[in-house]
């Protein structure tokens, strides 16, 4: 019975764009119910507070430009900047490889920053460092903009050996997860559940 239900959910997920709103709601709710809680909301907030403390020490006198990588970075950007009690500016960019899927595709630039970048100290904020191809492309673009300095912050670093730049890590990392598909806190499952305050892993 359980195997039949899980197969049924997978079928509905595979055609999620064609499903009715009610069917999507049922399917996504069952995905959440069957997923494993990896980090509680308290765990996440504690990690973000520690990141904020380190960023404050590093950037409090730099008038940084905080660049949110949409859509995933919105959660961390909002939660993080609430705790940064020093002058800063904010902007966003939008580049994605996933396009609502669970595996990566080609890089898609939707929007580049509107703020002037030359000579600025920039803090780039994203949800997760997975393989990192999106962050690599974004970082390369920003490096070409003659910044004064570039820092990167992610809520989650996923541990595996498929990194685009194996020897690089963001300057500020909140949490680490094993090589599983995770969602919540800005990370989505088929465009859903970014708004969750906890982090879940899809059961394999």
**Average confidence (pLDDT) over 119-126:** 98
> Could you tell me what percent of the chain has a pLDDT over 70?
86
Query: Which residue in the list 126, 127, 130, 188 is annotated as catalytic?
Result: 130
Q: 162 pLDDT exceeds 60?
A: yes
> 155, 125 in Cβ contact below 8 A?
no
Domain boundaries, the chain: 1-34, 41-196
Distance, CA of 186 to CA of 180 (rounded, Å): 16
For 17-22, which contacts have Cβ atoms below 8 Å and span 24 or more sequence positions? 17/100
Q: Is 41-196 in CATH node 3.20.20.30?
A: no
Q: Give the pLDDT confidence score for residue 8 in this predicted structure.
A: 41
Predicted model pTM: 0.87
Q: 10 pLDDT exceeds 50?
A: no
Q: Give the pLDDT confidence score for residue 91 in this predicted structure.
A: 98
**126 noted as active-site residue:** no
Stronger pLDDT, 15 or 32, i.e. the higher one: 32
Q: 174 pLDDT exceeds 60?
A: yes
Q: Give the pLDDT confidence score for residue 126 in this predicted structure.
A: 97
Distance, CA of 38 to CA of 79 (rounded, Å): 19
């Amino acid at each position: 019975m359980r195997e039949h239900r899980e197969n049924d959910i997978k079928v509905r997920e595979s055609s999620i764009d064609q499903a009715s709103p009610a069917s999507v709601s049922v399917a996504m709710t069952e995905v959440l119910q069957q997923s494993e809680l990896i980090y509680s909301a308290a765990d996440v907030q504690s990690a973000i507070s520690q990141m904020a403390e380190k960023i404050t020490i590093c950037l409090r006198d730099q008038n940084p430009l905080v660049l949110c990588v949409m859509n995933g970075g919105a959660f961390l950007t909002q939660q993080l900047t609430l705790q940064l009690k020093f002058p800063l500016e904010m902007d966003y960019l939008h580049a994605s490889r996933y396009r609502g899927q669970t595996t990566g595709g080609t890089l898609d630039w939707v929007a580049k920053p509107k703020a002037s970048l030359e000579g600025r100290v920039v803090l780039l904020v994203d949800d997760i460092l997975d393989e990192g191809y999106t962050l690599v492309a974004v970082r390369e673009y920003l490096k070409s903009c003659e910044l004064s300095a570039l820092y990167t912050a992610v809520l989650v670093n996923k541990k595996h050996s498929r990194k685009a730049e194996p020897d690089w890590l963001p300057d500020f990392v909140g949490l680490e997860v094993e090589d599983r598909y995770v969602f919540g806190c800005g990370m989505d499952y088929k465009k859903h559940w970014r708004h969750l305050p906890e982090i879940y892993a899809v059961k394999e």
